Chain A
Amino acid sequence: MAPSELSRRGLLRLSALLGGSAALAACGGPSISESGGAAQSDIDWSGVQPASQITWWSNHPGTSIEMEKEYIRRFQEQNPGITVNLVTAGKNYDEVAQRFQAAAGTDNTPDLVGASDVWWFRYMINGQIIPLDGLAQHLQIDIADYNPIFYEDYAFDGRHWALPYARSTPLFYYNRGVWQQAGLPDRAPETWDEFERWAPALAQVVGGSPLGLGTGTSWAAWWFCNFMWGRGGAYSQEWTLTLDGQETLDAGEYVRALVHDKQFAAPSQGGDDGYVADFSAGVTACTMASTGSLRGILEQAQFEVGTGFLPKGPAGPGCPTGGTGVAIASSKTPEQQLAAGMFLKFLTEPEQTAHFSAGTGYMPVRTSAVDSPDMQAVFAETPQARTAVDQLATTRVQDWVRTFVPSGDQYLTTAIQKIVLQNEGAASAFAAAATEITTSYEQNVARYI
């Protein structure tokens, strides 16, 4: 902080204590300006020395707090001059992000912050994080070794704003016992057509709709990508909404029919994580769930669990990725940012990546980590984990309006809930979402880019 800034703060502090409210309207709030948007930091890193203290805000995805502490220990061993403070900044990605946004403009920002797929873009347009390309070059981070889908998820305007850390994809989980009873081959259905052929037999075994669907926030609009992309649809092409596109509407109608007409699928009645609990307890025969849920499902299920790719649609496979990356705050000094970059590099090195993946079920974000002994041991022990890695080849970068527009995911989730829970037609459900998304885009995104 510059000295003049300090004295301004001192004044504010004093007037705050005196309770002078008018002068305080600006305190902590925004300044009035048309300008705004991403930070333009292209520092020459060559003369910069790393700071000795940095802070990392994490929600410890996959209950990984002990692992994260271990990586910090390893890092500090290699870099005795740098101390990393790990902060539990929330119980999920949203809480971390909310805290990070509330902290903007205060002294309490971290150096490293969790940046989930639906949040990093907002950090960027608020100017809260720095582009990492120059820093990566300076630190000789092996960009080519990151899984390209994961890495490109953080690209905008030709620059990259975070590195992938705890990344996941949905998988098709099935109950092998039920499959056997229904006389089906021991694999996930290749296509949704095949699933429909299998569904009556499965329904007989479980006595209800065989496929359980989760309808919670940040979940429904995620798996729906599978149906939508599999039919050639999309939420948007860059910023252009395609919610009224025929393929997208077809996908919505297909899911609606699957649930309400054919009754081959049913929304879980049990809360946000209900679809996982239902499947693990044998209530449903199969479900789509995150790779991050694999460990919990295997622990709990009293039957043999099979995993497979998400079924294909008429236009081919469709599989989104999700989870979180880690970004570096723009409000910090170059010294702190450099130290943060060093830790970020270390954190996503193949060794740590493999260890993290083995412990949590998240995907190894480095290509070379897949062949590491750690991962090979995981695959040998739980062959189901291999499925997710193989499926990565079919994944693609998310549609912008879901991940980039504030509350975009929320509006899409509501639309899908209307379709799945209330049998509303896809056209009207998506039209309502389109209106909301357009407003949010105009007010909260357009002027920043």
Chain B
Amino acid sequence: MATATSPPDTPVRRAGSHRAPRSRPRARRRGALRNWLLFAVLAGPNIALLVVFTYRPLLQSFYLSTLQWNLGSPTAIPVGLANYADFFADPGTPRMLAITVVFTLATVGGGMVLGLALAVVLNRKLRFRGAARTIVVAPYVLSGVAVGLLWLFVFDPNFGVLSAVLRVVGFGSPDWYTDPGWALAMVIIVYLWKNVGYVALIYLAGLQAVPRDLLEAASLDGATPFRTFVSVVLPLLGPTTFFLSITTLLTSLQSFDIIRAMTDGGPLEGTTTMMYSIYLEGFAGGRAGYSSRSPRSCSWCSS
């Protein structure tokens, strides 16, 4: 297949060789040069791809954010930082930021807590826990669009299975589709359903790496299981928690598919997070210049 050829790495290799250290003995220098070449061959293609398809567009987006430009228009006016000023002056901005914060906290924090709880249970010597583990992680591998569509039908207040179940128990269905608060809750629930298994899996691995004798020592000291967990196990899970908070934060900030398939940011913009608004303004609304400003402000808060 013609597509399998790897992209050219020459430019990076050349760029690398310029940077070889200067004031060293000739042999060392040759060794250093060889290492640079080797590094360029191995890491060059990947880094070149990142530069071309991630960092270059990032810079370009920043440039676009200084323009007043309709997507599709051949011309634009430079407006400096006016788009940013508009963004902060927009009366809808604080609400959107609040929605973003709620969504992020609920999906990251909620995901970590639920995932840890699940991991603790699945770490006990229960029958079928292997099968249970696999099943719990399974939603993580599904397409966000498919998951969104599937749950949209589950949540349908009139014809969905959830409302039928709630009716049996004697409750009415919440207005998942028309109340901004419930809609946000719905999107968060679906997000958690899809991703909590991943968190549980990683925590499970962390739990299994906890040395058994430490636990036994703690229980000999008369510590309750809960105390043991808090003072022995949790600290040992520190690196795992750190890793998870980073990876889940990234996925949460970039979540797009589920919102797009379920609510498209509505109702009443109640599920429009920062990232989703970039899509809505720039792509659906065609205000590309204006939309390019949000990513910047987002990078500020995440860095």
In the complex they form, whether A and B have CB atoms below 8 Å apart is answered with yes
- Chain B residues numbered 84-128 whose CB sits less than 8 Å from any CB in chain A: 86, 91
Quick check: is A2 within 8 A (CB to CB) of the other chain? no
Quick check: is A36 within 8 A (CB to CB) of the other chain? yes
User: Could you say which residues of chain B place their CB within 8 Å of the CB of A448?
Assistant: 73
* A94-B284, A105-B74, A443-B287 known; A30-B56 Cβ under 8 A: no
Decide: A281 and B56 in contact? CB cutoff 8 A. Answer: no
Decide: B268 and A417 in contact? CB cutoff 8 A. Answer: yes
Decide: B158 and A125 in contact? CB cutoff 8 A. Answer: no
Decide: A36 and B75 in contact? CB cutoff 8 A. Answer: yes
* A25-B63, A410-B285 known; A104-B158 Cβ under 8 A: no
Decide: B177 and A102 in contact? CB cutoff 8 A. Answer: no
Decide: A19 and B72 in contact? CB cutoff 8 A. Answer: no
- Chain A residues numbered 11-39 whose CB sits less than 8 Å from any CB in chain B: 16-19, 21-22, 24-25, 27, 29-36
Quick check: is B257 within 8 A (CB to CB) of the other chain? no
- Chain B residues numbered 30-85 whose CB sits less than 8 Å from any CB in chain A: 48, 51-52, 55-56, 59-60, 63-64, 67-78
Interface size class of B (residues with CB under 8 A): 35 or more
User: Could you say which residues of chain B place their CB within 8 Å of the CB of A421?
Assistant: 178-179, 267-268
User: Could you say which residues of chain A place their CB within 8 Å of the CB of B55?
Assistant: 21
Decide: A19 and B76 in contact? CB cutoff 8 A. Answer: no
Task: Kindly report which residue of chain B lies nearest to residue A447, judged by CB atoms.
Answer: B77
Quick check: is B11 within 8 A (CB to CB) of the other chain? yes
Decide: B78 and A32 in contact? CB cutoff 8 A. Answer: yes
* A215-B267, A270-B159 known; A444-B287 Cβ under 8 A: yes
CB distance from B50 to the nearest CB of A (A): 9
CB distance from B161 to the nearest CB of A (A): 13
Quick check: is A368 within 8 A (CB to CB) of the other chain? no
* A19-B11, A29-B64, A269-B157 known; A123-B72 Cβ under 8 A: yes
CB distance from B96 to the nearest CB of A (A): 13
CB distance from B73 to the nearest CB of A (A): 4
Chain A, residues 187-229, CB within 8 Å of chain B (1/0): the string is 0000000000000000000000000000111000000000000
- Chain A residues numbered 229-278 whose CB sits less than 8 Å from any CB in chain B: 267-271, 274, 277-278
CB distance from A268 to the nearest CB of B (A): 8
Assembled-state Cα–Cα distance A390/B130 (Å) = 66
Interface size class of A (residues with CB under 8 A): 35 or more
Assembled-state Cα–Cα distance A419/B156 (Å) = 22
Quick check: is B286 within 8 A (CB to CB) of the other chain? yes
Assembled-state Cα–Cα distance A17/B7 (Å) = 9
User: Could you say which residues of chain A place their CB within 8 Å of the CB of B177?
Assistant: 269-271, 274
User: Could you say which residues of chain A place their CB within 8 Å of the CB of B281?
Assistant: 407
Quick check: is A355 within 8 A (CB to CB) of the other chain? no
Decide: B63 and A29 in contact? CB cutoff 8 A. Answer: yes
Quick check: is A52 within 8 A (CB to CB) of the other chain? no
Residue among A100, A216, A422, A443 making CB contact with B72, cutoff 8 Å? A100
Task: Kindly report which residue of chain B lies nearest to residue A418, judged by CB atoms.
Answer: B268
Quick check: is A101 within 8 A (CB to CB) of the other chain? yes
Assembled-state Cα–Cα distance A443/B173 (Å) = 42
Task: Kindly report which residue of chain A lies nearest to residue B92, judged by CB atoms.
Answer: A436
Decide: A443 and B68 in contact? CB cutoff 8 A. Answer: yes
User: Could you say which residues of chain B place their CB within 8 Å of the CB of A36?
Assistant: 73-75
* A269-B175, A271-B177 known; A19-B48 Cβ under 8 A: yes
Decide: B73 and A271 in contact? CB cutoff 8 A. Answer: no
Decide: A98 and B178 in contact? CB cutoff 8 A. Answer: no
* A281-B159, A443-B290 known; A104-B72 Cβ under 8 A: yes
CB distance from B69 to the nearest CB of A (A): 5
User: Could you say which residues of chain A place their CB within 8 Å of the CB of B152?
Assistant: 271
Task: Kindly report which residue of chain A lies nearest to residue B285, judged by CB atoms.
Answer: A407
Task: Kindly report which residue of chain A lies nearest to residue B156, judged by CB atoms.
Answer: A270
Assembled-state Cα–Cα distance A414/B285 (Å) = 14
Decide: A122 and B286 in contact? CB cutoff 8 A. Answer: yes
Decide: A444 and B283 in contact? CB cutoff 8 A. Answer: no
Decide: B77 and A21 in contact? CB cutoff 8 A. Answer: no
Assembled-state Cα–Cα distance A19/B111 (Å) = 38
Task: Kindly report which residue of chain B lies nearest to residue A94, judged by CB atoms.
Answer: B284
Residue among A27, A274, A410, A418 making CB contact with B158, cutoff 8 Å? A274
Residue among A19, A128, A215 making CB contact with B178, cutoff 8 Å? A215
User: Could you say which residues of chain B place their CB within 8 Å of the CB of A125?
Assistant: 70, 73
User: Could you say which residues of chain A place their CB within 8 Å of the CB of B77?
Assistant: 32-34, 447
Task: Kindly report which residue of chain A lies nearest to residue B60, judged by CB atoms.
Answer: A25
* A16-B52, A122-B70, A444-B286 known; A422-B268 Cβ under 8 A: yes
- Chain A residues numbered 95-122 whose CB sits less than 8 Å from any CB in chain B: 98, 100-102, 104-105, 122
Task: Kindly report which residue of chain A lies nearest to residue B263, judged by CB atoms.
Answer: A271
Task: Kindly report which residue of chain B lies nearest to residue A102, judged by CB atoms.
Answer: B71
User: Could you say which residues of chain A place their CB within 8 Å of the CB of B71?
Assistant: 98, 101-102, 104
CB distance from A275 to the nearest CB of B (A): 11
Quick check: is A440 within 8 A (CB to CB) of the other chain? yes
CB distance from B228 to the nearest CB of A (A): 48
Quick check: is A432 within 8 A (CB to CB) of the other chain? yes
* A94-B284, A421-B179 known; A25-B59 Cβ under 8 A: yes
Decide: A32 and B70 in contact? CB cutoff 8 A. Answer: no
CB distance from B87 to the nearest CB of A (A): 12
User: 8 tightest A-B contacts by CB?
Assistant: A101-B72, A30-B76, A269-B157, A33-B75, A21-B56, A104-B72, A36-B75, A407-B285
Q: A269-B158, A414-B268, A417-B178 are in contact. List 17 more A-B contacts (CB 8 A).
A: A16-B52, A17-B7, A25-B63, A29-B64, A30-B75, A32-B67, A33-B75, A34-B75, A35-B75, A98-B71, A125-B73, A215-B178, A269-B157, A269-B173, A271-B177, A410-B284, A417-B266
A-B residue pairs in contact (CB < 8 Å), sample of 29 = A17-B8, A19-B11, A19-B51, A25-B63, A30-B69, A31-B74, A32-B67, A33-B75, A33-B76, A36-B73, A98-B284, A101-B286, A125-B70, A126-B72, A128-B72, A217-B266, A268-B178, A269-B173, A269-B175, A269-B178, A270-B158, A270-B177, A274-B158, A283-B158, A407-B284, A414-B268, A435-B91, A439-B86, A440-B287
